[in-house]
Amino acid sequence: MSNHLSIIFLILILLPFLTQSFSPKKVLILLDDFSLKSSHSLYFTSLKNRNYHLDFHLATDSNLKLSQHGEYLYDGLILFSPTVQKFGGSLDLNSVLGFVDSGRNLILAVDESASDLVKEIATECGVDFDEDSGAVVIDHGSFADGDHMLIASDDFIDSDVILGKEKIEAPVLFKGIGHALNPVNSQVLKVLSASPWAYSANPESKLSSPPSLTGSRISLVSVVQTTLSRVAKASETLCLVLPDNIGFRRIKAIALFSPDDFKILQARNNARILISGSLDLFSNRLFKSGVQKAGSSTNEELMGKPTFDDRYLRSGNEQFTTELSRWVFNERGHLKAVNVRHNKVGETVEPSMYRITDDLEYSVEIYEWSGTSWEPYVSDDVQIQFYMMSPYVLKTLATDKKGLYYTSFKVPDVYGVFQFKVEYHKLGYTSLSLAKQIPVRPFRHNEYERFLTAAFPYYGASFSTMAGFFVFSIIYLYNK
């Protein structure tokens, strides 16, 4: 009896931990209006089916909070509230950005009634919506249902990891405002672009000046992936190896740094953001509607006579948004690098310093998150740099297809403080920036050859001087 009790007790103790490890990801969804819950239900259902716990709230709800006691309550945030002027509760622009900076994910969808607040969030993420508040994307070339503001676009980003392996055949229907990407920010990617003859303008007013946003510069849907940077510390001591000026080389200065100096750039770690200029993109109506789209850029079409030759029963919206949400919520393309190792060939211990012309081995393990577990990441384009101001060695790592990447190379004949650098930036994948500092020293005094053939005249000189001294002493003493 007591045995049973203790087992039950044990289960009760362990229960919170068990549920925690298998708990679904929590996503907070902010809406302008609860009617969106039903009008966009297909999208929400697809998330629910993938084991996400959805938490619906009005954006103005006074009980809103993202974090409690310094811990975030959610893994993702979906802002389907374009008109909100001010969030309720403790939520504001900074808390949303802080949420993203902590490495969590954000989906932001707006429409033509977008408020300054949501536009500002987008701007902070590197995306600039059209400043004209009434402007929408208009396309007289590729539209659907006779509505020139309902755009059918199939200009997707060419990336399996973002949009899934299965090609999206049907065009995606879009109704909303366009945005331009901040050219300085290389982390923003255009996922769905407008056609070359699209433009962004207010349909109510007459166009007096050329629209500021035109053609394929308009992005309809963009994603942002912030960079993950990690600098591992080589050891707590960093040695500066410098030559001194009399020809003998030796270690001249040893500078000591605390390990804190090497903890660099932990912020902005690998959050994924999806920004869509159209809220309708996610709606059941557009999920279900068929597409009659103008054919690809033929002359006729450019002449203003679209040929309606492509006909699809359902638009590509459902597949497009579902695949994108998979990517945004880190179900795909999420990499981690662990176990960075390096050692001399034939040894297993990681040295604190290498000597010039040493042969060394380097290995790192890279895994990809599959949604449930870490699977080995297989690719043939991961490269290592042996870096000091510029890469002295640049080598592609070989892989054993089980996640281990390895190579070996010779330390160049240059001494100084080097870094093992892996800079892996692949479209749609987590950026990996690994840097590990390692000093390289010159030969020690006793590592050179003992007697050099080239130096024999010098040896001869020394010995003959000694002999000369002996002979001289004899002659001098006898000549007294």
Partner 1 sequence: MARSSTSSTTTKDAQALFQSLRSAYASTPTNLKVIIFLPTLQYLVKCCLGLQFLPKICLYDFKKTDVVSFFYAEVCLRIQVNKENKEFKDLPPERAFADFVLCNLVLHLVIMNFLG
Shortest distance in whole angstroms from residue 466 CB to partner 1: 5
451 forms part of the interface with partner 1 (CB under 8 A): yes
CB nearer to partner 1: give 401 or 445.
Answer: 445
Phi-psi region for residue 199, left (φ > 0), alpha (ψ -120 to 50) or beta?
beta
**Alpha helices per DSSP H over 208-303:** 284-288, 299-302
Asked whether the beta carbons of 171 and 293 are under 8 A apart, the reply is: yes
- 117-36-139-305 Cα dihedral, nearest 10 degrees: 180
Decide if residue 453 touches partner 1 (CB under 8 A). no
By CB under 8 A, which span of 124-132, 150-158, 380-388, 469-477 interacts with partner 1?
A: 469-477
Q: Where are the beta strands (DSSP E) in 425-472?
A: 432-441
Q: Exposed, middle or buried by CB within 10 Å (0-12, 13-18, 19+), for 112?
A: buried
Q: Among 4, 165, 401, 450, which residue sits at the site for partner 1 (rule: CB under 8 A)?
A: 450
**Half-sphere exposure in the Cβ direction for 192 (13 Å, CA):** 29
CB neighbours (10 Å) of residue 120? 14
Determine, following the binding rule CB under 8 A, whether residue 466 of this chain makes contact with partner 1: yes
Encoded one letter per residue, x for contact with partner 1 by CB under 8 A and - for no contact, window 347-386 reads ----------------------------------------
Enumerate residues 129-158 that contact partner 1 by CB under 8 A: none
Q: Residue 458 interacts with partner 1 (CB under 8 A)? A: yes
Q: Report, in Å, the least distance between residue 465 CB and partner 1.
A: 5
CA distance 336 to 94: 28
Residue (249 or 314) nearer to partner 1, CB: 249
Span 230-259, contacts to partner 1 by CB under 8 A: 247
| Residue position matching structure tokens 């060394």 | 360
Measured from the CB atom, is 401 or 450 closer to partner 1?
450
The residue among 169 and 244 lying less far from partner 1, judged by its C-beta, is 244
HSE at residue 8, side-chain half, CA atoms within 13 A, is: 5
Indicate the residue among 9 and 469 with the shorter CB distance to partner 1.
Answer: 469
Q: Does 266 bind partner 1 (CB under 8 A)?
A: no
447 belongs to the binding site for partner 1 (CB under 8 A): no
CB of 377 to partner 1, least distance (A): 53
If one asks whether residue 464 binds partner 1 (CB under 8 A), the answer comes out as yes
14-44 CB burial, b ≥16 within 10 A, e <16: eeeeeeeeeeebebbbbbbeeebeeebebbb
Range list of β-strands (E), 175-252: 179-181, 188-193, 198-201, 219-225, 230-232, 237-240
**Residues at the contact surface with partner 1, assessed by CB under 8 A:** 247, 450-451, 457-462, 464-466, 468-469, 471-473, 475-477, 479-480
